């Protein structure tokens, strides 16, 4: 890696991130069915119809996984607490699920790691999906009850609590593009989910504040929308894409408004009285989490229905996901967010990483592509700090190879290889490279 820990301000955190359904093994400990179980059971949705029933069996192996995190010299662990594990039917607490997160929290702290919790990383109980999931306003209130229950159990020991991971994926990718559970392609469902997920953030913030929780915020994903060319049409299309993917959420949360160009499409489908929710949605937060992976080259598609934009593949090197590698985009977002939305509020890079078709050879995994990817993105964050962004930490996605949603177990994002037959963990070369870079001198 081309950086050292000492290149960053004292206290800058290096960590790794995971999410419950992607690693734990949802068949253990009395967890209830999630909308991902039913989505995966529907032919054609997920590669080989794989689900998170076993995943990495982190449920039984979390000690080993946390040891690896600690041995790398990381300072924090970002994880999520599954709603369906804590409340299998969406409303009744499961003591075993609560005990699991209690144990996990203690194990994180025992290793000197800071626990960074995410309340919702897509583990929606099927019982609530049956009632319309995020298209139904009532899900927001049920989410508030979950926030109370899990916070009463472990909130006292969290260093940081994020309400929702990647609301764009929860709402647009899942209800408009149909790529994630619940797999809808419906503009009315989308408009409702786009609003209710923001309201769920607001509801969670209210509940967390009532309990005196500190360091609370949200994790948004930011996709760089680059105009394909210098025509006005491409500029307008990229602006609209940016408004849907990025501004809808950050603007609602920091300013209490929605971008007018997106409302032009959604207005007829928005839930009644949405305007009255904007105050709760935009209450103060303590940090903003930034997930960043790639850019998209955008132009207009006049023959397509709203939003009438088209994504044109570019010529930058690609990851195993076919995502272009564009570290400058991370710099751009960190500085833009500081300038236009959050000022001096702490920013964390809560996810950044790449999938690669890694293989274990002679007991080791050689992944120089990932080492370069991480190094280039961390250097982009360093430049953003030099230019005034208040970036406080960087979390690699992901600690482990895991369940990559509709791609099943095929795409390997981990710094630690997982053999999904034996569940053996093998740290990759990038893990050792990061360990060396962040070692205290």
Active site residues: 166, 351
Q: Toward ligand IFM, which CB reaches closer, 274 or 397?
A: 397
Q: Toward ligand IFM, which CB reaches closer, 164 or 238?
A: 164
Minimum distance from residue 142 beta carbon to ligand IFM (Å) = 22
Q: Toward ligand IFM, which CB reaches closer, 52 or 346?
A: 52
Closest among 4, 13, 3 to 347, alpha carbons compared: 13
Minimum distance from residue 413 beta carbon to ligand IFM (Å) = 6
Residue nearest to ligand IFM (CB): 19
Q: Which string of b and e fits 393-404 if b means at least 16 CB within 10 Å?
A: bbbbbbbbbbbb
Q: Toward ligand IFM, which CB reaches closer, 236 or 321?
A: 321
Sites of contact with ligand IFM (CB under 6 A)? 19, 22, 166, 291, 351, 397, 404, 413
Q: Are 88 and 31 in contact (CB under 8 A)?
A: yes
Q: Toward ligand IFM, which CB reaches closer, 121 or 297?
A: 121
Minimum distance from residue 25 beta carbon to ligand IFM (Å) = 16
Q: Toward ligand IFM, which CB reaches closer, 258 or 397?
A: 397
Minimum distance from residue 123 beta carbon to ligand IFM (Å) = 11
Minimum distance from residue 404 beta carbon to ligand IFM (Å) = 5
Q: Toward ligand IFM, which CB reaches closer, 24 or 404?
A: 404
């Amino acid at each position: 890696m081309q950086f050292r820990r000492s290149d960053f301000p004292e206290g800058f955190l290096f960590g790794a991130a995971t999410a419950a359904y992607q690693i734990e093994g949802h068949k253990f400990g009395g967890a209830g069915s999630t909308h991902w179980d039913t989505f995966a059971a529907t032919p054609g949705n997920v590669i080989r119809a794989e689900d998170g029933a076993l995943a990495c069996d982190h449920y039984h192996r979390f000690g080993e996984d946390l040891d690896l995190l600690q041995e790398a010299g990381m300072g924090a662990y970002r994880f999520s607490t599954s709603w369906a594990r804590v409340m299998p039917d969406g409303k009744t607490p499961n003591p075993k699920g609560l005990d699991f997160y209690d144990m996990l929290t203690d194990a994180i702290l025992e290793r000197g790691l800071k626990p960074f919790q995410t309340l919702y990383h897509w583990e929606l109980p099927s019982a609530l999906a049956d009632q319309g999931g995020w298209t139904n306003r009532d899900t927001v209130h049920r989410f508030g009850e979950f926030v109370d229950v899990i916070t009463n159990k472990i909130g006292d020991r969290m260093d940081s609590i994020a309400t929702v991971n990647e609301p764009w994926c929860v709402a647009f990718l899942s209800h408009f593009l149909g790529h994630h559970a619940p797999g809808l392609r419906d503009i009315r469902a989308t408009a409702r989910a786009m609003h209710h997920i923001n309201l769920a953030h607001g509801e969670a913030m209210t509940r967390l504040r009532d309990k005196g929780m500190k360091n609370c915020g949200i994790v948004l994903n930011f996709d760089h929308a680059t105009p394909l060319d210098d025509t006005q049409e491409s500029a307008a299309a990229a602006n609209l894409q940016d408004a849907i993917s990025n501004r809808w959420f950050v603007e609602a949360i920091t300013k209490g408004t929605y971008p007018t160009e997106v409302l032009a499409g959604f207005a007829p489908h928005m839930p009644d009285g949405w305007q009255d929710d904007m105050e709760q949605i935009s209450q103060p937060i303590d940090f903003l989490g930034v997930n960043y992976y790639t850019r998209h080259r955008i132009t207009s598609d006049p023959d397509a229905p709203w939003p009438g934009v088209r994504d044109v593949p570019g010529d930058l090197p690609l990851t195993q996901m076919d995502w272009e590698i564009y570290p400058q985009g991370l710099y751009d977002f960190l500085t833009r967010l500081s300038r236009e939305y959050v000022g001096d509020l702490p920013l964390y890079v809560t996810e950044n990483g790449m999938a690669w078709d890694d293989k274990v050879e002679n007991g080791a995994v050689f992944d120089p592509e990932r080492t370069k990817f991480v190094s280039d993105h961390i250097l982009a964050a360093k430049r953003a700090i030099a230019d005034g962004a208040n970036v406080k930490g960087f979390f690699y996605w992901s600690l482990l190879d895991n369940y990559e949603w509709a791609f099943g177990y095929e795409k390997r994002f981990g710094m630690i290889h997982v053999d999904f037959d034996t569940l053996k963990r093998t740290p990759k070369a990038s893990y050792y490279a990061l360990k060396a870079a962040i070692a205290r001198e």
